[in-house]
Amino acid sequence: MDKKKIALKAVEELKKLYPDALCSLDFESPFQLLAATRLSAQCTDARVNMVTPELFSRYPDAESMAKADVSDVESIVRSCGFYHHKARDLVEMSKALVNEFGGVVPDDIDVLTTLPGVGRKTANLIAGDVYGKPAIVADTHLIRISNRLGLVGTKDPLKIEKELRELIPPEEGNNYCHRNVLHGRAVCDSRKPKCESCTLNSFCKYYEESKG
Ligand code: SF4
């Protein structure tokens, strides 16, 4: 089966398994999703969701965060790990938003990546979830599952983003990525994937090869 067919089958199967492909970070504005996504690097979404209520009650938007004392932000986000970098990025990112974009989060992936602390993964998430643009969020689950299915043969997020943009229908990309996160957590575990019960196994390269 060629990659395009596998990709389309994966899109349809995951849609059946996870009809509600929602982002698992809590947010009430584009700025808050941007900030929460920065905090989620090397941290669970559940942990981020425990921290952001206090963070956003103190600093709900770019204007207020731009004026924040970094040490105060650090004290709030400490439990997310890498808190020095994350706090600094939140404040610097907010300053850039205020100074260069009038406090409005841009909708263009390349423009978003010019903001401090914003990489392609975050930029794709914002473009997709907030602005409904075609997006491929190459996070750890998408990287693992794409390799296992045989859609890609690399761990490089940028290559994966580019290759999947050729395989996944643009209008499906964003939700497909959210569904990969759900499937990665529920079934396609990094260490012990539940292949026997996985409904993607009929077209999964990893499963085929594991049978010998
Ligand atoms: S068959 Fe196994 S490796 Fe393939 S997607 Fe399912 S759980 Fe992951």
For residues 42 and 119, membership in a common domain is answered with: yes
pLDDT at 22: 79
170 Cα to the center of ligand 1, angstroms = 23
pLDDT at 121: 92
For residues 179 and 198, membership in a common domain is answered with: yes
**Rounded CA separation 204/198 (Å):** 10
Write the DSSP symbol of residue 130.
I
Q: Is 125 helix (H, G, I), strand (E, B) or coil?
A: helix
Which residues approach ligand 1 with their CB closer than 6 A?
145, 148-149, 187-188, 193-195, 198, 200-201, 204, 206-207
**Rounded CA separation 164/40 (Å):** 23
H or E segment at 170?
Answer: none
Last residue of a domain, one of 103, 130, 157: 130
Last residue of a domain, one of 60, 95, 130: 130
pLDDT at 1: 82
**Rounded CA separation 171/204 (Å):** 23
Residue-range definition of the domain harbouring residue 158: 3-21+138-210
pLDDT at 21: 78
Given a contact cutoff of 8 angstroms between Cβ atoms, the answer to whether 124 and 138 are in contact is yes
85 Cα to the center of ligand 1, angstroms = 35
pLDDT at 117: 92
Question: What is the mean pLDDT for each group of 10 consecutive residues in the chain (212 residues)?
Answer: 96 96 89 96 93 98 98 98 97 98 97 95 94 95 98 97 97 95 96 97 96 76
